[in-house]
Homo-oligomer: A and B are copies of this chain.
Amino acid sequence: MTQQIAQWDVFEVALRGPKLGNPFLDATLDVVFRLGNRAVHTSGFYDGDDVWRVRFMPDTVGEWTYRTRSNIGELDGKSAGFSCTAPRAGMHGPVRVKNQFHFAHADGTPYLPFGTTCYAWTHQPLDMQAQTLATLKRSRFNKIRMGVFPKDYIYNNNEPLYPMFETDADGRQDFDRPNPKAFQHLDSQIGALRELGIEADIILFHPYDRWGYCTMGPKRDEQYLRYVVARLSAYANVWWSLANEYDFLLDVKPIEAWDRCFHVIEECDPHRHLRSIHNGNPNMNYDHRKPWVDHVCIQHWDVKRTVEWRQAYGKPVINDEPEYEGNIPRPWGNISAQELVHRFWVTTLRGGYAGHGETFMHPDDLLWWAKGGELRGESWKRIGFMRDLLEQDVRNGLTPYTSATNSAFSRVSGGQDGDVRYLYFGEHQPLQWAAGLPMEDGDFEIDLIDTWEMTIDRIEKAPLPISPPLRGVGGAIHSTGPEAAFGVRLPGKPWQAVRVRKKS
């Protein structure tokens, strides 16, 4: 009987080869997968113990075949067929850009990123990794930023569970020989995230390093990227983040080196996962207009600028680090929960997406942002509440109201997707409001949302509040008519949002 594999699952072939001097380098293993006239090229990888593997994520139901080509006889010319069947329940395929500024899974299911950050969680003791997965299951995050490599930074100095490369008796690593055990473990955690419906935003390089991973040089960087892509690309939930804080590595990886890394991934990833790169200095964004970048990653606290970034790059904007909830002495890691929740609402209602992280001092240096484990803050619950709310209504992504629509929207935030509108007032506390409400009257469901208290209360239409008068020559023209067909009454306190849905 033909082997069966569900759409978007990992189809894997294992091939036993001969003992080679350096099996990572000495064997080539290229594979073509075919469905009718369609041919998809990928590569296998060495997984230790004289075993090579080929992984492939079929994106289409049907009868596929493959055939290998290798410079090693035992690996060459292997071929077979398999059936790709309908996806398992809850599997929607990889996330793609949709509607220019937004995302959706391959099957069309909207994907609104509500991500968190645990840079080195896969390098912690196994029981802590299990705890991280349990916490993720309980929380409502659907993306996690995580590094392939361990991290050497404050609160984050422990040795990794496994060295990422083979190590000799003197502890010297051989960057020509990845450690299959370390990568097998990474595979398995990426798979665990996929089963939780969580996208793995995989950081390929970062500067917080004492092991030499950020100075391997262009040749070994490329070997490493090809190895990681061959191993992981068949996992539907993979995103490629070229770097955390690429600009802090410009002395060893200039812009051309980063561009080259993007090109290597473009060349060898048959599944075309999302690609981006993350800055350190808020004024050092990579030029995300380059065609090999799928979405914009930003690190910036000034979240009311989200519309500027959309306009500058014309791509989806994810502000991974609008600062973290916490209390450590580093200024990027000590904002209040209320402020982080506020930054999520401002970012999202201005047509972007925000990222979470938690950096609370801990006697054993167990900070979620570095190691995972337990969430100790207050923002994650409100972010989960926000996700549940938006997923009820948002199908194509929120298009923000801007000051071109109404000057109010440089100060407050709001956006629309079809017949649903969201307004967020943040530090603003009007008793009455109109801007952003429908211009034509009709039958609407209006909800007042307390973003901190996590309450949703149905409210009624109210008379239009007073508008600034029209001005003629010599006076300001603030408005050319009523701002909306009706108004709403609000409680006059901060952190409120309003949702308006047209009754069908």
Interface residues of A (CB under 8 A from B): 152-155, 207-209, 212, 214-215, 245, 248-249, 251-252, 280-282, 301-302, 304, 323, 327-332, 334-336, 338-339, 361, 407-408, 410-412, 427-435, 465-469, 471, 473-477, 487, 492-494
Chain B residues near A215: list those with CB within 8 A: 473-474
How many Å from the CB of A364 to the closest CB on chain B?
Answer: 14
Chain B residues near A430: list those with CB within 8 A: 327-331, 334
Knowing A248-B471, A476-B249 are in contact, say whether A339-B494 is a contact too (CB < 8 A): yes
Chain B residues near A466: list those with CB within 8 A: 154-155, 329
* Contacting pair B327 A429 (CB below 8 A): yes
How many Å from the CB of A174 to the closest CB on chain B?
Answer: 18
* Contacting pair B428 A335 (CB below 8 A): yes
- A248's partner among B208, B212, B476 (CB-CB below 8 A) is B476
How many Å from the CB of A38 to the closest CB on chain B?
Answer: 42
* Contacting pair A468 B207 (CB below 8 A): no
Chain B residues near A433: list those with CB within 8 A: 329
* Contacting pair A331 B468 (CB below 8 A): no
Knowing A334-B429, A339-B494, A434-B329 are in contact, say whether A302-B301 is a contact too (CB < 8 A): no
* Contacting pair A431 B329 (CB below 8 A): yes
Q: How far is the CA of A195 from the CA of B302 in the complex (A)?
A: 42
- A331's partner among B328, B336, B411, B487 (CB-CB below 8 A) is B411
* Contacting pair A323 B411 (CB below 8 A): yes
Interchain Cβ contacts under 8 Å between A and B, 15 examples = A154-B469, A207-B476, A208-B475, A209-B474, A212-B474, A214-B475, A327-B429, A328-B432, A331-B408, A331-B428, A331-B435, A335-B429, A336-B427, A338-B494, A339-B427
* Contacting pair A153 B469 (CB below 8 A): yes
* Contacting pair B332 A411 (CB below 8 A): yes
Knowing A248-B476, A411-B323 are in contact, say whether A431-B361 is a contact too (CB < 8 A): yes
Q: How far is the CA of A248 from the CA of B433 in the complex (A)?
A: 24
Chain B residues near A339: list those with CB within 8 A: 427, 494
How many Å from the CB of A325 to the closest CB on chain B?
Answer: 9
Q: Which 4 pairs of residues, A with B, have the shortest CB-CB distance?
A: A248-B476, A329-B465, A215-B474, A339-B427
Chain B residues near A245: list those with CB within 8 A: 476
How many Å from the CB of A338 to the closest CB on chain B?
Answer: 8
Chain B residues near A471: list those with CB within 8 A: 207, 248
How many Å from the CB of A286 to the closest CB on chain B?
Answer: 16
Knowing A154-B468, A494-B339 are in contact, say whether A334-B474 is a contact too (CB < 8 A): no
How many Å from the CB of A337 to the closest CB on chain B?
Answer: 9
How many Å from the CB of A166 to the closest CB on chain B?
Answer: 21
* Contacting pair B327 A431 (CB below 8 A): yes
Closest partner residue, chain B, to A487 (CB atom):
B329
Q: How far is the CA of A178 from the CA of B222 in the complex (A)?
A: 80
How many Å from the CB of A46 to the closest CB on chain B?
Answer: 27
Closest partner residue, chain B, to A361 (CB atom):
B431
How many Å from the CB of A203 to the closest CB on chain B?
Answer: 14
* Contacting pair B411 A301 (CB below 8 A): yes
Chain B residues near A155: list those with CB within 8 A: 466
* Contacting pair B428 A334 (CB below 8 A): yes
Knowing A334-B428, A336-B494, A428-B335 are in contact, say whether A153-B411 is a contact too (CB < 8 A): no
